[in-house]
């Protein structure tokens, strides 16, 4: 059982590592798009996330930047394009947001985003003229001209897509990798738009974090507990089962600590983005697993009077780690959203491990009951009392 379960974990890990190189393919390009006044924009860029495109023209004599920002969106949603003069992320952005107004037309509003939280319409640092928007065929288009500081050569730009608008106020967008990667730098002289490398790096870290924790908490810890519970009843497996159990749990702990560390790093780099339940379960898992490691070092002898209580503690914490680990893997998959095939693959892994546990549980009970029956049948016969006490 142990080799097949470990092979299952290895196969899942090897397959899952293909997540570390996310695809940025797009179904169309900016050069193939047509819309009114398309010829006003001399340059265009295929932005690296959210199926978005930027058509633009820079007039250095007037220091004006004319843009047509296009993104796939629901009709009830919103799109935004912004310049951040102080940083590379959302906070500090001077944003233009387009969405459908209650009268059936399109509205364009400006927002000075000073912090994470609900948006309030406000003036931005730049003069904005000729702003308008339109929606057709699943794409929303935002048009505007922005007056930039004189002699500027490049700007940090941020774009975003949101699902809905409530009371004329854009609702919160998602915080998936594509949303977090929606930023870059626009070189006004060369015409190039480069995506933020930090966003790509963060996506890779998120994927590594997910793979490490699936393998450790979601697979290896359960395998180690299955080994300890079911192989120990076979005399021929002693003491091999114990060393296999220790190997699985210590390896799972080491991998889990690495995954936990990447999670802490991601949290420190994602100000304003918090997944409280996932984080708290992760901290609990790390704490309980650390206690288990110390428990291994402080394990009393089999004949010690507190060994019974130590067993209760050790088994209880172990089963708690299994339950919380599997729950948190699904929480993480919901956050990462790598595709249904990965979630389904993990469901299959859990089902296989569960099936193995059920089968071994039945075999174990059969072995124990037969052994008990054999022990009773070989009990010495008391001739004086005719076998009675």
> For residue 323, what pLDDT is reported?
94
pLDDT confidence band for 61 (50 / 70 / 90): confident
**Stretch 162-166: mean pLDDT:** 88
Interior angle at CA 320, CA 317 and CA 322, nearest 5 = 115
> For residue 376, what pLDDT is reported?
66
Using omega within 30 degrees of 0 as the cis cutoff, is the peptide bond preceding 56 cis?
Answer: no
pLDDT digits (tens, 9 = 90+) for 309-352: 888 988 899 999 999 999 999 998 887 777 778 888 999 999 99
**Terminal Cα-to-Cα distance of the chain (whole angstroms):** 44
**Stretch 70-90: mean pLDDT:** 88
- Residues making up the annotated binding site are 209, 245, 278, 314
Q: For CA atoms 218, 224, 228, 230, give the dihedral sign.
A: positive
pLDDT confidence band for 374 (50 / 70 / 90): confident
**Stretch 75-89: mean pLDDT:** 87
- Residues making up the annotated binding site for heme b are 209, 245, 278, 314
Of 276 and 359, more confident: 359
- Mean pLDDT computed over every residue of the chain: 81
pLDDT confidence band for 199 (50 / 70 / 90): very low
DSSP code string of 141-201: EEEEEEEPPTT--EEEEEEEEES-EETTEEPPPP-SHHHHT-EEEEETTT--EEE-HHHHH
> For residue 328, what pLDDT is reported?
92
Check pLDDT > 70 for residue 196.
no
Chain position carrying tokens 């009371």:
167
Query: What's the pTM?
Result: 0.54
> For residue 219, what pLDDT is reported?
92
Q: Which residues contact 299 (CB under 8 A, 6 or more apart)?
A: 310, 314
């Amino acid at each position: 059982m142990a080799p097949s379960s470990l092979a299952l974990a290895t196969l899942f890990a090897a397959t899952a590592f293909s997540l570390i190189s996310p695809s940025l393919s797009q179904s169309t390009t900016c050069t193939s798009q047509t819309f009114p006044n398309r010829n006003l924009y001399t340059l265009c860029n295929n932005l690296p996330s959210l199926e978005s495109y930027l058509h633009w023209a820079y007039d250095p004599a007037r220091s004006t930047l004319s843009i047509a920002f296009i993104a796939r969106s629901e009709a009830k949603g919103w799109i935004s394009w912004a310049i951040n003069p102080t940083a590379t992320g959302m906070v500090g952005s001077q944003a233009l947001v387009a969405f459908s107004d209650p009268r059936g037309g399109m509205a364009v509003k400006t927002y000075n985003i000073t912090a994470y939280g609900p948006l309030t319409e406000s003036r931005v640092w730049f003069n904005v003229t000729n702003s308008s928007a339109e929606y057709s065929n699943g794409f929303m288009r935002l048009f505007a001209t922005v007056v930039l500081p004189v002699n500027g050569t490049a700007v940090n730009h941020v774009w975003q897509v949101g699902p809905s608008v409530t009371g004329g106020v854009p609702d919160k967008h998602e915080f998936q990798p594509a949303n977090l990667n929606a930023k870059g730098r626009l070189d006004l002289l060369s015409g190039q738009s480069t995506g933020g490398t930090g966003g790509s790096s963060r996506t890779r870290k998120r994927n590594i974090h997910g793979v490490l924790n699936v393998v450790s908490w979601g697979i290896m810890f359960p395998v180690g507990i299955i080994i300890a519970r079911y192989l120990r009843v076979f005399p021929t497996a002693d003491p091999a089962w114990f060393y296999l159990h220790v190997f699985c749990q210590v390896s799972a702990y080491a991998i889990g600590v690495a995954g936990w560390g990447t999670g802490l790093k991601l949290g420190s780099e994602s100000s304003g983005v918090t997944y409280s339940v996932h984080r708290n379960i992760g901290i609990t898992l790390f704490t309980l697993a650390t206690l288990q490691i110390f428990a291994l070092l402080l394990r009393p002898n089999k004949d010690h009077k507190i060994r019974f209580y130590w067993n209760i503690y050790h088994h209880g914490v172990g089963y708690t780690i299994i339950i919380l680990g599997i729950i948190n893997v699904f929480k993480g998959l919901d956050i990462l959203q790598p595709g249904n095939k990965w979630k389904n693959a993990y469901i299959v892994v859990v089902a296989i491990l569960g099936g193995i546990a059920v089968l071994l549980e039945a075999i174990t009970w059969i072995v124990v009951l037969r052994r008990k029956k054999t022990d009773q049948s070989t009990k010495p016969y008391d001739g004086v009392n005719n076998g009675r006490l």
